[in-house]
Structure 1
Amino acid sequence: MKILRNLAAACLLLGAAPVGAQTTTLDFPTYQLQESFGPWWQALTAEFEKQNPGVKINLTDAPSNDHHRLLTTRFAAGNPPDIVHMTARFVWGYGAEGVLEPLDRWMDKTDIRKSWVPNQAAMTVDGKTLGLVMLNYGFGLFYNEPMLKAAGVAVPTTEAELIAAAKNLTKVKDGRTEHYGFAMNTSTSSWGYMYFMHFHAGRDRELIKDGKLDSQDEIARTLETIDGLIKAGVSPKGLDNTPMRRLFWGGQAAMYIDGSWAPGYADAMATADVKDGWRVARLPFANMAGGPSNALAMPKDIAPERKELVWKFIQLAASPEWQQKYAEITGNPPGRVGMVTDAAKAKWPTLAMFDAAASAPSRSHLPIGYESEFTKISDIVANEMSAMVTGKYGSAEAAKRIVDGINRDVIRK
């Protein structure tokens, strides 16, 4: 017994868990483990475990397309993960359901509010801060430089130039498309909605502003542009993100739009030719849709001692040291302002452009005033756009259905 007591005391002095102590495990699923963010999350969790003996983090990979659905199912079942990582546009919906813990009592004791990107304010729902923004959206036009040069096509800088380039870069031989000009997400997922917003915000339009839905004619105009590109054969119909990216990085598409995380796909997905020839430019629109990309949050219905541990994890992620590492490891602009180091810029030549893009958007991809209804709005827009591109009906009818659906199910006119 004396030996065991001495061993336990020694463990405490060394900062290790005493013999017989139970390990606390925090559940943490993320959809970013297979992306360039993965090594950062892995290093961060390892450091947290090192600083907190007796605490383990169960870091698991969640499929990107199913992550929100799985989170919703777990919240509904009363079994949420301890560390909630989600696409930021879903924070308002969870906030409206009352399942997230306000972070203010911890955050007010830190420098986060004064040191973070302005879009951190968007994480406030009914006066309560429900998440910490990890990344602001910054998008670019990825293009295959050898393909553009071979076709004599300049990098587009306007919507009209993008449309012309997409058509000129689409190559068809014997009725078969050899490569597409511009791979587009026209799926029924929330990313289909985001592609709609690239074009809609690009024309300096908000879908909803000051409680008013944009006009049916303006929505139809955006849909007509997208439908025209699909009918011209510049992209397959109904692509979601993964097949869209595979087309570009596999050398079967000349251009596509993606975010600051996309350079990380070069090693995993690109052919040798594409790995040497891909480039990225500013989006060819007058305005850009922006906003918070993803956030860390905390479930309301977990034990108080687990909440304290979750906050310690969030605070470590928010520290200057780990925010600098975020830029250096992932190649993405972090939430804490001024953390993009010279080392990060040298390692990731595209980082400066994406950092500027994340700070530049003049239009929001979110439905202003109806953020908590994002899922409904996204579903309505993406479903009708998808039906349009598959030929079920034209852009005018799709726009009418979008307006009717949002007015009926969201604005409730």
Structure 2
Amino acid sequence: MSYELSYWSTSPLPTIFAVCGAYIALMMLIMCLFMYSKQRKNAYLYMAAAFLFIMTYEGLNIHSALTGMPVFSPESDILRFIQLFSFVLLNVSVVMLYRKIKTMHYWLPLLSAALLVLPLILPSFLPFTLDPIWQSIYFDCFQFVALYLAFVKVTPRIGQPVKYAMGLAVYTVWGILQSIHTYSGTLASVLQGFALALPVLFYSIVFFILFRRIVELMQSIYRSAITDGLTGLYNRRHFMKYLDHYTSQELKISAIFCDIDNFKKLNDTQGHARADEVLKQVAAIMEEELEGIGITGRYGGEELVALVVDRKVKPAQVAENIRARVASETIVTLSIGYSVLRKGVRGDELMKQADKAMYHSKTNGKNKVSDYRSMKTASAEPKESAG
């Protein structure tokens, strides 16, 4: 035992691992506070609190390593309190990252704090002296109950269950090694080195879980900012950004403008829910037909639009495919107009041309496709003959 203490008092590993753990906790704390300032999601506050406690825990470990104290300090109940309370906070925050939790669950950290404080204050109220080992047993029981609940209650409710289960497994091994050291009073040097690395590994796994979840949430926020909530197509503002980009590059593109025939009547007779379902069906058909050759968007109401950016594809054929599929696969039909970009035409002008062509289809029988240029040529012919 004296050899082991002498070895670990001179080894830099305890300090290195404690510093690594504190650094990861600091990065996580900063990340959580930053995300909370952007999204005001309580999960980030809970996780920030958890990593603040972890920083404190690792800070005490750094002090312990630098002063030559044992690697594990079974006599330091404050360390166990901080370690276990941060674990509870971490589990609650991980669940909150993925779903809303009941109000009663917000009291779990307070209940855990009360249970963890109990062995610290209870001896002073008792008329007799307890064997100090009972506190270690109490903390170990609390730890393994918390681990069991994390495996059973937390892991199935989050989006990265396998990765988090691996983290919990690492934490479990760490707890077992702590217990062996506490009750046996010794631990092989190799196992001590292994045990020192486990907290850093656990924090790293949680870091990657948090990082991936933040990326998912940011993608979701961005997606909601550029797409229509009902159809999933680009919203009008973002669709027009794409259109302006393509027209500014003077690329050969075509705009398709679709309007669902008799949509108001469908709303009035079958209800908004049924009308929304039909709108989503039409949007899905358009997305399938434009996949790989262009983009789609919701212009407003029952008006859906598309850009054909593949120069090899004929917009007339794409428009006809959309019209035919909607007529055969849904309970509605479409009036469609399209226009090919000409030199000197701006994006908004191109959409107006396609809109006029759609209106021509709408006023000439519906359920048809009209080409703006052909429509314009046909309307100009009587004037030329009259001249």
Report the TM-score, using the length of structure 2 for normalisation. 0.19
Q: Which has the higher contact order (CA 8 A, sep 6+)?
A: 1
Structure index of larger Rg: 2
Report the structure, 1 or 2, having the larger strand content. Answer: 1
Report the structure, 1 or 2, having the larger helix content. Answer: 2
